[in-house]
């Protein structure tokens, strides 16, 4: 029957009748580990007083519990060979000090070289600075616990340990299992290899203890399994030689940094969300990007990465790849904030690809300080989706093509602060009415393509400067090439001198207003716009319709081209 840490039953070695303390210090055993013909000492008693193992080899015939404030010290060069189904259990008031050397490591192994032959080492609620593993090899365990070494604690009684230069191999499960409330005061230069399920299984909040000088490869599955849950303490996840596999969704509630070369793979449907009290700084390099992906290279396999009301200047994605998401949020990368707690993020040299929806989605109350040199390609419904306000953050150095639909979708809404819509290499697909309530500039070469019945209105507190060139005109058009398919462009009580359309093509509007371009005002709030070198065509009503309190350049008919407008080219109300 298995004896756990609370079942402190004293047991005698079946091959000796002298006390354990006497057996442990018998001299004359060869040093340097067990060799051919070596006689190992029997070991089967629990440890309730400070005890040192100094002989070369011990055969452990039953589970050993360390308790009652005792420290079990294992000297360099000692080997413990565990019988099938046995283990070493360090209880809440026990301690383990196993410090070998490079020339004389400590070895904890099975009596037979079979994965899972013995249970392994468990350290359970032992909050002592005396717990140290250095130059230790633990092998052929994992038969009962989920690792050769299993660490577990609680908020009030964490497990504290230093693990350095230690090898965990040939486990029937993981090399190391770290549950919640573990404090690794030192973790460096370790090797996790030849384990059945992976290098490590760890609570999300403990990942930051890992280092990039350790080896996590050479297992049957080269992963560090992250259980999911919250990052509650500021930490850095290193770039390691295995993937992090998130089998549950991750909530970032503290400052999290992810180093170059790290790959986070997510199980089906799982997500990562950076909340209002958290931040994420994922900065890779061109050679070693940080990658967020799914376990399988399938569009929408995992949920995606979301920043939700996280207004931290620490939020930055640089040389990052986000792929195969969009299965829960409406994009690989989803930003959403509120008026009092917006989302803040820099996005530079980042690739968004393989989404089952869009590459990115920016709702209102989003502050993108930097956005340039990004690639949004291979996504199902488009490069991205923005509101009228957040469209201002997009740039013309990024790539938005190569998607199933080569478009940046604009959901509609108001432009409430001065901004420019850049000329991207994909069209803006306007899916809702646009209200211009600030100074809006549309760059030469931009294409604004409207869904059925949608409009753009420049109001009294807004203005629109859309100035293209002969080689790069600006286009206002409908998704379908049908007169009246979209509502049209209207200037309503906007009397700004900067209202100007030059080298602009407006086509297939007039479905809501009395023209592709409609200018309307009042005696107290007139409207004005200048239109030159532009093409006005295929309106369901007039090409241009001007209310009597609207003003347009007198030579409008002479300096622009008109064709196919149902009711005429220019209507001037007297």
Question: What whole-number distance in Å separates Cα of residue 268 and Cα of residue 206?
Answer: 22
Q: What is the SS3 assignment for 270?
A: coil
Taking Cα atoms as reference points, which of 291, 5, 247 lies closest to residue 124?
5
Report residue 475 CA to chain centroid gap: 37
Q: What is the largest CA-CA distance in the chain?
A: 119
- The answer to whether 82 touches 48, Cβ cutoff 8 Å, is no
State the residue for tokens 């409609």.
518
State the residue for tokens 């020339």.
103
Q: What is the SS3 assignment for 205?
A: helix
Question: What whole-number distance in Å separates Cα of residue 201 and Cα of residue 272?
Answer: 18
Residuewise pLDDT in 10s, the chain (574 residues): 333 333 322 222 322 323 333 334 333 333 334 455 568 999 999 999 999 999 999 999 999 999 999 999 999 999 999 999 999 999 999 999 999 999 999 999 999 999 999 999 999 999 999 999 999 999 999 999 899 999 999 989 999 999 999 999 999 999 999 998 999 999 999 999 999 999 999 999 999 999 999 999 999 999 999 999 999 999 999 999 999 999 999 999 999 999 999 999 999 999 999 999 999 999 999 999 999 999 999 999 999 999 999 999 999 999 999 999 999 999 999 999 999 999 999 999 999 999 999 999 999 899 999 999 999 999 999 999 999 999 999 999 999 999 999 999 999 999 999 999 999 999 999 999 999 999 999 999 999 999 999 999 999 999 999 999 999 999 999 999 999 999 999 999 999 999 999 999 999 999 999 999 999 999 999 999 999 999 999 999 999 999 999 999 999 999 999 999 999 999 999 7
Task: Take residue 41 and report the two structure tokens written for it.
Answer: 């000492």
Question: What whole-number distance in Å separates Cα of residue 312 and Cα of residue 276?
Answer: 8
Element (H, E) at 235: strand 235-237
Query: Which residues are within 8 A (CB) of 327 and not within 5 positions of it... i.e. 6 or more apart?
Result: 268, 269, 300, 301, 302, 303, 304, 356
Taking Cα atoms as reference points, which of 36, 38, 68, 44 lies closest to residue 56?
38
User: Edge-to-edge, what's the strand order for the sheet holding 51-53?
Assistant: 51-53, 71-74, 95-99, 127-134, 159-164, 182-188
Taking Cα atoms as reference points, which of 328, 255, 267 lies closest to residue 292?
267
Q: Provide the pLDDT for residue 36.
A: 52
Other CB atoms within 10 Å distance of the CB of residue 405: 15
Span 139-168, pLDDT tens digits: 999 999 899 999 999 989 999 999 999 999
The predicted model scores a pTM of 0.91
Question: What whole-number distance in Å separates Cα of residue 344 and Cα of residue 332?
Answer: 17
Question: What whole-number distance in Å separates Cα of residue 14 and Cα of residue 573?
Answer: 111
Q: How are beta strands 527-532 and 500-502 bridged, if at all?
A: parallel
Q: Provide the pLDDT for residue 4.
A: 37
Task: Take residue 233 and report the two structure tokens written for it.
Answer: 């303490």
Q: Provide the pLDDT for residue 547.
A: 94
Element (H, E) at 144: none
Give me the phi and psi of 21, to 5 degrees please: -55, -30
The Cα-based distances of 326 to 212, 254, 298 in angstroms read 30, 24, 11
Q: What is the SS3 assignment for 391?
A: helix
Taking Cα atoms as reference points, which of 330, 329, 322 lies closest to residue 353?
322
Q: How are beta strands 87-90 and 120-124 bridged, if at all?
A: parallel
Q: Provide the pLDDT for residue 574.
A: 72
Query: Which residues are within 8 A (CB) of 27 and not within 5 positions of it... i.e. 6 or more apart?
Result: none
Element (H, E) at 341: none
Question: What whole-number distance in Å separates Cα of residue 345 and Cα of residue 341?
Answer: 13
Q: Give one DSSP letter per residue of 469-480, joined into a string.
A: -SSS-EEEEESS
Q: Which region holds residue 119: left if phi is over 0, alpha if psi is between -120 and 50, else beta? A: alpha
Q: Give one DSSP letter per residue of 18-49, joined into a string.
A: S-HHHHTT---PPSSS--TTPPPEEE---B-S
What is the four-CA torsion angle of 309, 397, 301, 428, rounded to 10 degrees? Answer: 80
- The answer to whether 63 touches 84, Cβ cutoff 8 Å, is no
């Amino acid at each position: 029957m298995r004896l756990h840490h609370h079942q402190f039953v004293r047991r005698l070695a079946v091959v000796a009748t002298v006390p354990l303390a006497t057996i442990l210090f018998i001299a004359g055993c060869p040093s340097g580990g067990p060799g051919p013909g070596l006689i190992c000492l029997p070991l089967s008693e629990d440890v309730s007083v400070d005890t040192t193992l100094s002989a070369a080899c011990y055969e452990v015939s039953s589970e050993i519990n360390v308790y009652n404030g005792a420290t079990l010290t294992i000297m360099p060069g000692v080997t413990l060979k565990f019988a099938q189904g046995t283990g070493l259990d360090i209880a809440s008031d026990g301690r383990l000090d196993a410090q070998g050397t490079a020339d004389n490591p400590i070895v904890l192994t099975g009596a037979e070289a079979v994965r899972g032959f013995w249970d392994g080492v468990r350290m359970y609620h032992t909050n002592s600075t005396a717990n140290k593993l250095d130059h230790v090899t633990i092998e052929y365990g994992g038969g009962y616990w989920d690792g050769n070494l299993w660490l577990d604690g609680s908020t009030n009684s964490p497990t504290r340990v230093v693990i350095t230069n230690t090898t965990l191999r040939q486990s029937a499960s993981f090399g190391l299992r770290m549950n919640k409330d573990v404090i690794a005061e030192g973790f460096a230069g370790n090797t996790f290899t030849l384990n059945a399920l992976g290098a490590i299984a760890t609570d999300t909040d403990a990942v930051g203890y890992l280092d990039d000088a350790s080896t996590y490869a050479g297992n049957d599955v080269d992963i560090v399994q992250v259980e999911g849950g919250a990052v509650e303490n500021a930490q850095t996840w290193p770039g390691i030689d295995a993937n992090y596999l998130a089998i549950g969704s991750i909530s970032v509630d503290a400052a999290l940094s992810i180093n170059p070369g790290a790959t986070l793979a997510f199980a089906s449907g799982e997500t990562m969300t950076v909340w209002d009290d958290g931040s994420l700084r994922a900065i890779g390099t061109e050679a070693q990007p940080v990658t967020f992906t799914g376990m399988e290279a399938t569009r929408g396999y995992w949920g995606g990465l979301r920043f939700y009301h996280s207004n931290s200047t620490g939020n930055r994605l640089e040389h990052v790849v986000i792929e195969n998401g969009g299965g829960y949020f409406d994009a690989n990368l989803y930003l959403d904030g509120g008026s009092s707690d917006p989302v803040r993020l820099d996005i530079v040299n980042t690739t968004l690809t393989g989404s089952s929806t869009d590459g990115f989605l920016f709702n209102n109350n989003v502050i993108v300080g930097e956005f340039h040199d990004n690639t949004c390609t291979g996504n199902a419904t488009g490069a991205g989706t923005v509101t009228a306000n957040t469209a201002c953050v997009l740039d013309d150095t990024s790539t938005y093509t190569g998607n199933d639909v080569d478009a940046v979708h604009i959901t509609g809404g108001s432009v409430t602060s001065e901004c420019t819509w850049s000329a991207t290499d994909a069209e803006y697909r306007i899916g809702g009415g646009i209200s211009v309530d600030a100074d809006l500039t549309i760059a030469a070469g931009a294409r604004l393509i409207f869904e059925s019945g949608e409009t753009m209105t420049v109001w009294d507190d807004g203005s629109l400067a859309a100035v293209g060139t002969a080689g790069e005109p600006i286009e206002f058009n409908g998704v379908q090439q049908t007169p009246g398919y979209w509502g049209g462009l209207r200037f309503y009580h906007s009397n700004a001198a900067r209202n100007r359309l030059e080298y602009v093509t407006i086509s297939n509007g007039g479905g809501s207003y009395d023209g592709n371009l409609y200018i309307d005002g009042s005696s107290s709030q007139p409207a004005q716009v200048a239109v030159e070198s532009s093409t006005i065509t295929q309106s369901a009503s007039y090409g241009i319709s001007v209310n009597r309190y609207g003003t347009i350049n007198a030579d409008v008919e002479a300096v622009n081209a008109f064709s196919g407008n149902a009711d005429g080219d220019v209507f001037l109300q007297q």
